[in-house]
Amino acid sequence: MSDDTALVLFSGGQDSATCLAWALDRYSRVETMGFDYGQRHRVELECRAALRDGMAAQKPEWAARLGEDHMLPLAALGEISETSLTREVSIQMETGGLPNTFVPGRNIIFLTFAAALAFRRGLKHIVTGVCETDYSGYPDCRDDTIKALQVALNLGMEKRFVLHTPLMWLDKAETWKLAENLGGKPLIDLILEESHSCYLGDRKHRHPWGYGCGTCPACDLRAKGWAAYCEAV
């Protein structure tokens, strides 16, 4: 297991695209991993290749560092999840205070499979775009959850994985700023045009902040973050 290798959980969204650029800026070999769990916005998975190719084209060192991509089918997660991300139901708040976009155990399962792949591939650093600042209250996005999971994975696999969450304490405007710092306007333009965050999978409507329905929580968050970023610059 090399200290200079990383695996990025790469969905095709704004956050994971920024995390991929963050990892490419730091590690000599970076691989990516995506998950197909029957999500309504599965179009995000179709955006991954263009984002990877676009980043490789932006900097020669990024092209040299970008390694294999891995896609894992996790239909079982969608089958047991009664959520608005895996069923054709309206997005709303549940009585327990969580939005019905919450897929129970999703990030825990993703990171566990990522660690299993990293074990086989000899990758030490695992990077995920979870965030506790601009988020919907998902308990598996919290810093405490990630820290606890790192301990469990290291104990259970007898390895010293390091789970990185570069966006944990950033809001969406600061995430755009991080992308600018990493790759300038070309990276910002790439993320705007090729990434996907809309929960409803809308790629027909192009807004200043990218594609999406413009009304779901993910679009609302991305739009507000873009507006704040533009105001700051």
pLDDT per residue, tens digit, the chain (233 aa), is 678 999 999 999 999 999 999 999 999 999 999 999 888 777 889 999 999 999 999 999 999 999 999 999 988 888 887 776 676 677 776 766 677 677 778 899 999 999 999 999 999 999 999 999 876 678 889 999 999 999 999 999 999 999 999 999 999 999 999 999 999 999 999 999 999 999 999 999 999 999 999 999 899 999 999 999 999 98
Short-list 201, 208, 205, CA closest to 222: 208
Decide the pairing of beta strands 29-36 and 162-164. unpaired
pTM over 0.85: yes
- Residue 187 CA to residue 193 CA, distance in Å, equals 10
Neighbours of 78 (CB within 10 A): 20
- Residue 178 CA to residue 166 CA, distance in Å, equals 10
Neighbours of 80 (CB within 10 A): 11
Residue 102: the pLDDT is: 76
Q: Which residues of 160-190 are buried (b: 16+ CB within 10 A; e: fewer)?
A: ebebbbbbbebbbbbbbbbbbebbeeebbeb
Q: How many CA atoms lie within 13 A of 146 on its CB side?
A: 20
Residue 100: the pLDDT is: 66
